[in-house]
Amino acid sequence: MTRTYTVDLFAPSQSILGEGPAWDANRDALVWVDILRGKVHLRSPSGATSSFDAGSHVGSALPARGGGWLLAVADGFATMSEGGDVQPLLSVHGGRRADLRFNDGKVDPAGRAWAGTMAYDESPGAGRLYRLDPGPSATPVLGNIGVSNGLGWSPDRRTFYYVDSLAGTLRAFDYDEHEGTVRKERVLLAFPSDEGYLDGLCVDDDGGIWVAIWDGRRVNRYTAKGALDSVVAVPVDRPTSCCLGPDGVLYITSARHGLSREQLDRQPMAGAVFAAEVAATAPPATLWFGDV
């Protein structure tokens, strides 16, 4: 039987394209981004909030060792201090690909940052998934990607999960933590486009995979074998991603991007962050091993 959950409003932001939620143990707060406004937001369970300007479109803000964040910005990577100072780190395309931007990112169990690209017009096959290595250098891991989106690792650190929203697939790979490599690709889930699009994800301590469904008004939880076992209903069309915080709270970002005025009138909370108490736990976001 599929378990169902409902949500409460956590942060009444009206993000154009809210994304990349992560529980930041350095600040004991949720961090997320508004990609198209170039904003990084934080909010604690007590309601304390702060926002910073990334100076660029920003796909993710990954908590870093010692404080601050690694940003996946439009053309590559930058760092942001706890006070909001942004410093360029690596331009992946050297400014040559204004048609592309970085999207979702995560830190793997060994502390490496991963982030993927997509075309602004969502051209098929234009994106890549990169691993940020010391140097710094960006190492391509996967190519021919439509919309690079959700990333996650199994609790035993042996499986990597990855969403290409345009392809409508949740893929699983064998993962080598020491080398930071993936192999043995298989499609864990092929999602029907008439039900929405797979977006960002997180993985819980039991190996369950929580995936936001863009244009689906929900977050689905799948077992490691790809079976649906839980659904979190949200009051907006476009949930974008999710993460687990302390005490089994699932935080869900959402978007207003692409919705008509009539659609926005019917869902005034579009772009907000929601919270649901679920029967699942996960550790805080793994810290990026670089320094800010």
**Residue 66 to residue 64: CA distance in whole angstroms:** 6
Kindly state whether residue 115 falls inside one of the protein's structural domains. yes
- How many CA atoms within 13 Å lie on the side-chain side of 181? 4
Q: What is the mean pLDDT of residues 95-110?
A: 94
Phi, psi of 247 (to 5 degrees): 60, 30
Please tell me whether residue 264 adopts helix, strand or coil conformation.
helix
Kindly state whether residue 184 falls inside one of the protein's structural domains. yes
Per-residue model confidence as pLDDT tens digits over 40-70 = 999 999 999 999 999 999 999 999 998 999 9
Per-residue model confidence as pLDDT tens digits over 125-156 = 999 999 999 999 999 999 999 999 999 999 99
Q: What is the pLDDT of residue 291?
A: 80
Kindly state whether residue 175 falls inside one of the protein's structural domains. yes
Kindly state whether residue 86 falls inside one of the protein's structural domains. yes
Kindly state whether residue 285 falls inside one of the protein's structural domains. no
- Choose among 181, 61, 66: nearest CA to 131: 181
Whether 199 is catalytic is yes
Kindly state whether residue 171 falls inside one of the protein's structural domains. yes
Residue 122 has pLDDT above 90, yes or no: yes
Kindly state whether residue 288 falls inside one of the protein's structural domains. no
What is the total count of domains within the chain? 1
Return all residues near 61 (Cβ < 8 A) that are at least 6 apart.
Answer: 20, 22, 31, 32, 33, 40, 54, 69, 70, 71, 80
Q: H or E element: which one contains 270?
A: none
Q: What is the pLDDT of residue 74?
A: 96
Structural domain of 253: 3-277
- How many CA atoms within 13 Å lie on the side-chain side of 40? 30
Annotated catalytic residue within 24, 104, 108, 199: 199
CATH number at residue 95: 2.120.10.30
Kindly state whether residue 78 falls inside one of the protein's structural domains. yes
Q: Sorting pLDDT into bands at 50, 70 and 90, what band is 14?
A: very high
- Given a contact cutoff of 8 angstroms between Cβ atoms, the answer to whether 77 and 69 are in contact is no
- Given a contact cutoff of 8 angstroms between Cβ atoms, the answer to whether 172 and 203 are in contact is no
* Predicted structure pTM score: 0.97
